[in-house]
């Protein structure tokens, strides 16, 4: 029977562990936090004394730490994953990190005959536990196919995006869109309140009149052929409406930098498309 190794059993790592348990997969785990280790023990996992021990004992290793620095530390350092991983092992980097960090780990692993791919997670812990996780994976197709059965024990889908590091890029792009929406909404409701609309009312108005996102109909605005990523835009929203929102913010004495920068970018884009 397959044994899965998890390095990092915080919120996301413990959610993956729960999915593996449901699939009947035995797991061995390591985390620098004693409380995380105890929670993993309660989930039925075996505990290792180091990341290297996890790699020696597992058929596949899932690295679920938080930052680039933590990925490098738990994979490349003494008693790290690569110290224990036998040749032919497969290591999956699930962290939201830079692609160059993934490539650095993969290069060090290749010198030992160990395989590394990035398999980033588009989800949050509660969704993972419900089986709603989607992986976006970068790396050679044959390694993706090797990892796919393991990934689908934890997720509803695993998508091969492209070469090594493209899973990292996909995750950062996805989080950029989510974060940008939150930042813009924050400024939009501040503008609404300054104009006399309570922010909860403004948010409800936006929700109730929502007609989908640009992604629901991106083909109307972006070139489907892949030849040119510049959007086709009308003049009203870009050259008039967004700048008017910026002017209104200044009238109210508000410092709303996202709206200001959107106004400038909209004017530039509109001007570039004037025939």
Yes or no: say if 61 and 5 are a contact pair by the CB < 8 Å rule: yes
Give the domains, in start order, of the chain with CATH numbers. 3-164 (3.40.50.720), 171-272 (1.10.1040)
**pLDDT(33) > 90:** yes
Q: Binning pLDDT at 50, 70 and 90, where does residue 275 land?
A: low
Q: Is the pTM of this model over 0.75?
A: yes
Give dist(CA 138, CA 98) in Å, integer.
12
Give dist(CA 203, CA 197) in Å, integer.
10
CA distances from 89 to 19, 33, 219 (A): 22, 25, 42
What pLDDT score does 95 carry? 97
CA distances from 249 to 61, 125, 187, 200 (A): 51, 37, 9, 19
Q: Which two tokens stand for residue 255?
A: 């410092």
Residues with Cβ < 8 Å from 227, sequence gap 6 or more? none
Report, as an integer, the average pLDDT of 23-43.
97
**pLDDT(175) > 80:** yes
């Amino acid at each position: 029977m397959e044994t899965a190794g998890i390095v990092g059993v915080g919120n996301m790592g413990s959610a993956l562990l729960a999915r593996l348990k449901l699939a009947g997969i035995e797991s061995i785990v390591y985390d620098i936090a004693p409380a995380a280790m105890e929670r993993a023990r309660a989930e039925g996992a075996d505990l290792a004394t180091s990341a290297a021990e996890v790699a020696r004992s597992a058929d596949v290793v899932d690295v679920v730490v938080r930052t680039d620095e933590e990925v490098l530390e738990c994979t490349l350092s003494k008693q790290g994953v690569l110290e224990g991983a036998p040749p032919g092992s497969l290591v999956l980097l699930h962290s939201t990190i830079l692609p160059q960090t993934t490539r650095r780990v993969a290069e060090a692993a290749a010198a030992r005959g160990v395989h590394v791919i990035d398999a980033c997670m588009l989800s949050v812990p509660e969704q993972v536990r419900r089986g709603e996780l989607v992986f976006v994976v970068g790396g050679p197709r044959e390694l993706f196919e090797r990892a796919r059965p393991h990934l689908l024990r934890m997720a509803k889908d695993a998508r091969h995006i492209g070469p090594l590091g493209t899973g990292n890029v996909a995750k950062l792009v996805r989080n950029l869109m989510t974060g940008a929406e939150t930042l813009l909404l924050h400024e939009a409701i501040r503008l609404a309140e300054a104009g006399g609309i309570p922010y909860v009312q403004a948010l409800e108005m936006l929700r109730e009149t929502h007609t989908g996102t640009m992604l629901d109909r991106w083909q109307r605005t972006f070139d489907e052929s892949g030849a040119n990523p510049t959007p086709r835009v009308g003049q009203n929203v870009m050259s008039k409406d967004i700048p008017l929102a910026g002017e209104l913010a200044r009238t109210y004495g508000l410092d709303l930098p996202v709206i200001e920068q959107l106004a400038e970018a909209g004017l530039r884009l509109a001007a570039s498309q004037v025939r």
